[in-house]
Structure 1
């Protein structure tokens, strides 16, 4: 269908004609009729009297040139027609909204408009709903606003001009420097060295279609409070068929900033690539190596797997791979095709591609496999729990109350297939040890403790002196795996545990390599597309709009001062720091002192500039286990409520070591205590 017919069928032609005619009449009236220009002058003067916007919206720089924004001089288009929330029938004849979009001048100096913009972006208000609100506001108030949501949100037009064809899909890449310039457009950076992990992953966009999204993300590890940043996005019906086209812009960009640094507001910031982070399939794809369950699929060592029925198992250990041998192409059966990642200067392709991922390896990999084995028999011949046992365990799980900092409540075992990574992680750290005792064989329980202790030790720099020991525990866990269960279950995930210690030694504790925030960002990006049409255009437009929220000067700031006291009814709540709260009750009241004394919070007060907590201490506590090491090493204890003293002790805030998670399996008589790891001070 040619353009003219599409315009007529969609109704855009008649609406544009009407808009042009109305504009012509307005201009004629202003030139020929007296007194008609006063309203225009008055409106213009109202802009000049308003203070500058509290949140400045700068142009979004692209890799080669600035993005084109809607024209400030054109009249409003009919946004109800050009909206991107189309029905399926309308999509067939959609007119290119970027090409035909006109808009009012955006009210840069209008403080209300600025706050409305932030509100709309924060709450994901659709363009059609926002446009209706703008029109309603204009008609019923004297507030100066545009008619169209795209003008208010600074939606870019013709973003496809910045797309590059890659195979059967398209790539949008804005670059490291442009991304950081946008983030720090009004506020100078506080550091002079950026240490970043680069993450690549793929995800399906729709259940009813083949469209895939492959974002390239950057996690600045030495500024953990910063958001995960989007460097580029590939969108296509399959994963990128041309790895060169997909990764080459990233590789060239990294090499450029490694040499030249990053120019942010005239300040040169050095850049260092820490690690390349991805899950198992994505790692194999971007490195050009064998996918599991290939016989030589391990990216860290030269182990050769073997077939056991329909499975590939990896027994034993092998010599580690090296960057030099990889670059020489010595691994003929491991390397499948060339990867542009080899062209990154100063990168060790073996060492800096990590596998120590607390989400995919520990939670979704090992712990979920074990739980599925206990519930469904997936670890055959290891016996599974009976229906009665599973019901009993489920009843215990749903009664457990995690602290407020853990957002997901435990669910019954019948929903195990739907448990998120964070649920599995919370189970591993805080529930598995007390709950599994006497519910699996002694051999399996002692075996699981090896995994549990190692993961705890690797999760905080406070335990750095035990990291070598933790690596030995994982080696023992892998060695005994076939004895406890069966050699048929020695999958690539089990084998990869042998390489966790090296990753942690090189890059820091597990939170530094975690992909939880990256997965959250991927899910967020997936929801940016409101229809299945022109997916990449929608995502890029939303990302550019949202830079107004994620900029250093525009992000929603927590105005809470830490530490501080908050009074709610007759209760005093102590806010120690972000994601660390103490209040009355078993859920949020337990903490550990520097002398390893367990105290339950009662109240707090500020005196002479210091904060003091009043609480009751446990007169007795027991080790949760003593083999293969004392549970006190990782601050795990067991105690009875009847041993809680009636005496009130006074503890200064600086004497707190960490908050404790208190888990009871007998309705509050006995508690198992484990540290809330992010509250530990190293």
Structure 2
């Protein structure tokens, strides 16, 4: 990497400059490659200088401790933190603090969210946060019901809590950012649910490309409140590194953008694709390179590559408006960032300021594309604490009009996860895709 930084590399006669943006690891790996104390050490936080407190496990209760800086790290001022020598990465032109962001896949999804679910299901009775077997079964039934409402952008639709030992990181993310707030209402006690909403809103603000610029500082404030309340609800001994790390997330977001810009999700996903390229355990590297080359060769020579915004699955069974007879009807179309269709789970979008249900996709003779839709007449807040949900784009909707409208495809602003809630629905914007 030091050679690449200095010289770049030659590609078809052009010198390509190589810049290391950041290093993405889980917490133990980050401590290893930085050659610093791990998260179980007294000075194990790699973002602030506080000394941990051991309460059966290492905890980090402070939320306003002095922050580490790249300069102080290079000078190795904190001897307790730099107990394992100097990292090879320090030879590169990279900030050893600022360019080693916290990965929220491990910290939030596999860390805090998993810990919360385990506390609710199996935590000490004395804490008063366990929900009981009846509530666990009710929550599991809701998650299974919601699976048919999850859009195609999600590779996993969610499973019962009885299978939580086999949940993947994407399932914890689905629960944390989409299904959890709806499923947990009326199951958790009010103060425990309110504390979870702090986590939900904070991570939503940091994960959403539409919200992150205006709500980053606010997200940090409520995540700090979440950590403080977490100690009061679940005990000071629960303030382990994963929970404490929430107070540092916003600083990384300010530098690198929304959480999914630098999370490990994309790498974990691509590992599966690489593994599917292997046929035998012998010479795996050669197999991967050959399969990738073959796919690139096929792609270059294939003239039938599907273009974005090209509708698919033509049909003739409507619905249509009277003045739209000379059009072709389709069932789905791939947008730049998401897919929309006429089927449940993929048919709820924001058009102008309305939450609408797509009933048909039309291709006009001039190649313009429009949609036939119905819209929800009633739209209100799903929650008002810690902020009115409509401010961050989350709505409680009901009363779907029977009147059909037509609108241009270009007016669609986002896609929703639409989850049932009694006689209404909760519309939550899709913030990412799992391609």
After TM superposition, the score normalised by the length of structure 2 is 0.89
Please point out which of 588, 592, 606 is paired with 2:363. Answer: 606
- Within 5 Å, give how 1:395-410 maps onto structure 2: 395-400=141-146, 401=148, 402-410=150-158
Which residue is 2:238 aligned to?
489
Spell out, residue by residue over 1:564-586, the C-alpha distance to the aligned partner (whole angstroms, 9 max, x if none).
Answer: 22235546223142562222243
User: Could you say what secondary structure the match of 2:17 adopts?
Assistant: strand
Which residue is 2:121 aligned to?
375
- Within 5 Å, give how 1:622-661 maps onto structure 2: 622-640=380-398, 643-661=399-417
Q: Distance in 1 between matches of 2:300 and 2:51?
A: 49
Contact 2:356 2:373 (C-alpha < 8 Å) held by counterparts:
yes
Please point out which of 158, 161, 183 is paired with 1:435. Answer: 183
Structure 1: tracts of 5 or more residues without a match: 1-253
Q: Distance in 1 between matches of 2:23 and 2:49?
A: 20
Q: Distance in 2 between matches of 1:521 and 1:577?
A: 22
Which residue is 1:471 aligned to?
220
User: Could you say what secondary structure the match of 2:20 adopts?
Assistant: strand
Which residue is 1:581 aligned to?
339
CA positional deviation for 1:598: 0.7
Contact 1:600 1:615 (C-alpha < 8 Å) held by counterparts:
yes
User: Could you say what secondary structure the match of 1:461 adopts?
Assistant: coil
Please point out which of 19, 38, 45 is paired with 1:272. Answer: 19
State the structure with bigger RCO (CA 8 A, min sep 6), 1 or 2.
2
Q: Distance in 1 between matches of 2:65 and 2:411?
A: 46
- Within 5 Å, give how 1:509-524 maps onto structure 2: 509-523=258-272
Contact 1:293 1:311 (C-alpha < 8 Å) held by counterparts:
yes
Return closer, same or farther for 1:621/1:551 CA change in 2, 3 Å cut-off. Answer: same
CA positional deviation for 1:286: 0.6
Q: Distance in 2 between matches of 1:347 and 1:627?
A: 40
Question: Quick check: which has more Rg, 1 or 2?
Answer: 1
Which residue is 1:351 aligned to?
98
CA positional deviation for 1:268: 2.1
Q: Distance in 2 between matches of 1:446 and 1:600?
A: 30
Please point out which of 664, 671, 681 is paired with 2:425. Answer: 671
- Structure 1 outlier segments of 4+, above 3 Å: 521-531, 549-558, 568-571
Spell out, residue by residue over 1:487-511, the C-alpha distance to the aligned partner (whole angstroms, 9 max, x if none).
Answer: 1100100111111111000111111
Contact 1:616 1:648 (C-alpha < 8 Å) held by counterparts:
yes
Q: Does 1:319 align with 2:60?
A: no
Spell out, residue by residue over 1:336-389, the C-alpha distance to the aligned partner (whole angstroms, 9 max, x if none).
Answer: 222110000x2111110110x231111111111111111111696243121111
Return closer, same or farther for 1:530/1:610 CA change in 2, 3 Å cut-off. Answer: closer
Q: Distance in 2 between matches of 1:420 and 1:554?
A: 31
Q: Distance in 2 between matches of 1:589 and 1:530?
A: 39
Q: Does 1:256 align with 2:3?
A: yes
CA positional deviation for 1:653: 1.2
Please point out which of 294, 299, 304 is paired with 2:51. Answer: 304
RMSD between aligned residues: 2.3
Structure 2: tracts of 5 or more residues without a match: 318-329
Contact 1:379 1:485 (C-alpha < 8 Å) held by counterparts:
no
After TM superposition, the score normalised by the length of structure 1 is 0.58
Contact 1:363 1:424 (C-alpha < 8 Å) held by counterparts:
yes
User: Could you say what secondary structure the match of 2:383 adopts?
Assistant: coil
CA positional deviation for 1:529: 7.1
Q: Distance in 2 between matches of 1:405 and 1:556?
A: 28
Q: Distance in 2 between matches of 1:585 and 1:347?
A: 48
User: Could you say what secondary structure the match of 1:651 adopts?
Assistant: strand
Q: Aligned residue pairs: how many? A: 414
Q: Distance in 1 between matches of 2:391 and 2:289?
A: 47
User: Could you say what secondary structure the match of 2:42 adopts?
Assistant: coil
User: Could you say what secondary structure the match of 2:387 adopts?
Assistant: coil
- Within 5 Å, give how 1:274-293 maps onto structure 2: 274-293=21-40
Which residue is 1:391 aligned to?
137
Contact 1:525 1:539 (C-alpha < 8 Å) held by counterparts:
no
